[in-house]
Amino acid sequence: MEVNIGLIGLGTIGSGVVKIIKENSELIEKRTGIKLRIKKACDRDAQRVSSLNLSEVEFTTNYDDIINDSSVHVVIELIGGYEPARTVIEKALKSGKHVVTANKAVISKFGKDLFSVCDLNKTNIKFEASVGGCIPIIRTLQQSYVSEEFSAIYGIVNGTTNYILTKMAEGKSYSDALKKAQENGFAEADPSFDVEGKDSAQKLTILSMLAFNSNAPEEIYTEGITMITKNDIVYASELGYVIKLLAIAKRTNNELDLRVHPTMIPVNSELASVSNEFNGIYLKGKNTSESMFYGRGAGQLPTASVVVSDAIDLAKKIRNKHYVSPVSFFNNLRQKPIDEIKSRYYFRFRVLDKPGVIAKIAKELGDNNISIAGVSQKEENLETVPLIIITHSAIEKDVKRAVEAINKLDVVKEKTVVIRIEDIS
């Protein structure tokens, strides 16, 4: 069976898709009985088609030429961003074509609407590459674990920040680690979308939508890694923890706790070993208990390989005339505000090295219902020194109120650094 593909976007991932289909077409056909053929390609830059040696492929700069071509069975959208990507996907689905995308932005914000379009038009959309690079987490949630009830997801889903934190753990400063990430192609020239946690938040939206059948939240509480210093990483190590940017989703009854922030996790936990640009996703289920998924979170060929796999899966559905929406229903879950969450906390204060300082800070914590689990003052032979306090479980709103009061004390000389602790096994 031959399936014609319309490829929209010939950038890094798109050119990887071309490479894999050209090199592995015979292998794919032997394994599946399906021959993938790139019938048409679209890009704003006409020079790209010549550099990819696509002489047998019809090229256009107008995506409507692909959408309106009745001989194209599957559209692969690799433009990125919200528009025109959303319009391309919606038009393709309405025209009776199936779609593959790696676009986390569109799926996280407009996924529910697009799934409805699939239902109305008996079409499918696949988006495995939108989360976790080459980790088959979307397929796992939709197929392998479709009967499972999940209580929690913990994800390292951004390779840029994980690479930076890994290099900081090796002794580099934040700025040096970021520079190294940029030199190796793991960080953009403007890394803010990654280091501020926004990329992870979009991916968490998709994971929670599939695992909990939840509507996309209007906003996920997000903190980035720019306030983390290599000293914090050293202090965390002394306490038996590592620091990771975690995407966290927890369901309790009809409430959903979604957040992205730097998190201290035990050094012996499986997620702690996920280093450099790799991703790791840890699931807690009612019947499956704990499951860990690990792999490259980005890169041309790892991501392109998953895109091609999605195209093959859609080709099989075309052959079998099997059309099912990615998500068939949505729960009405309340999203828990960040002020209501409970966690243990790490505080790093910069304080005057004089008697009575710890007592003043402890009083503010106690007045706000926060119990201290451990205290460590670092000697630096300076006028001010770092003071580390670990707490027992506390409510976020109490922590915010306490930190605000502590930052006003005359003995505290810098803004307090706060890191949440998750004791993941």
Q: What is the pLDDT of residue 282?
A: 97
- What is the pairing mode between strands 384-391 and 417-421? unpaired
Structure confidence by residue, pLDDT tens digits, 327-362 = 777 888 999 999 999 999 999 999 999 999 999 999
> In whole numbers, what is the pLDDT of the chain averaged over residues?
93
**Which two structure tokens, joined as six digits, stand for 73?**
């069975």
H or E stretch covering 405:
helix 396-407
pLDDT tens-digit series, residues 18-42: 999 999 999 999 999 999 999 999 9
The CATH class, in words, for 341-421 is alpha beta
- The third-level CATH classification (topology) of the domain covering 2-131+300-320 is Rossmann fold (3.40.50)
* CB within 8 Å of 423: residues ≥ 6 apart: 265, 266, 344
Q: Check residue 279 and give its pLDDT.
A: 96
**Segment 116-157, tens digit of pLDDT:** 999 999 999 999 999 998 899 999 999 999 999 999 999 999
pLDDT in tens, 244-298: 999 999 999 999 999 999 999 999 999 999 999 999 999 999 999 999 999 988 7
pLDDT at 284: 96
Portion of the chain with pLDDT greater than 90, in percent: 84
Q: Which pTM does this prediction carry? A: 0.93
Alpha-carbon separation of residue 370 from 11, 367, 405, 411, 416 (angstroms):
51, 8, 13, 20, 16
Distance, CA of 325 to CA of 420 (rounded, Å): 37
**In the chain, where the domains are located:** 2-131+300-320, 137-297, 341-421
DSSP 3-state percent helix, strand, coil across the chain (nearest 5): 40, 25, 35
pLDDT at 151: 96
The CATH fold of domain 137-297:
Dihydrodipicolinate Reductase; domain 2 (3.30.360)
What is d(CA 294, CA 234) in angstroms, rounded to the nearest whole number? 25
Residue 323 has pLDDT above 90, yes or no: no
C-beta of residue 425 within 8 angstroms of C-beta of residue 282 = no
pLDDT of residue 240: 96
Mean pLDDT of 160-176: 95
Give me the helices (H) in 140-191, please: 159-169, 174-183
* Run of H or E including 16: helix 12-32
Please compute the mean of the pLDDT values over residues 309-324 and round it to a whole number: 86
Tokens of 87: 């319009």
SS3 for 309?
Answer: helix
> Which positions are annotated as active-site residues?
203
Residue 54 has pLDDT above 90, yes or no: no
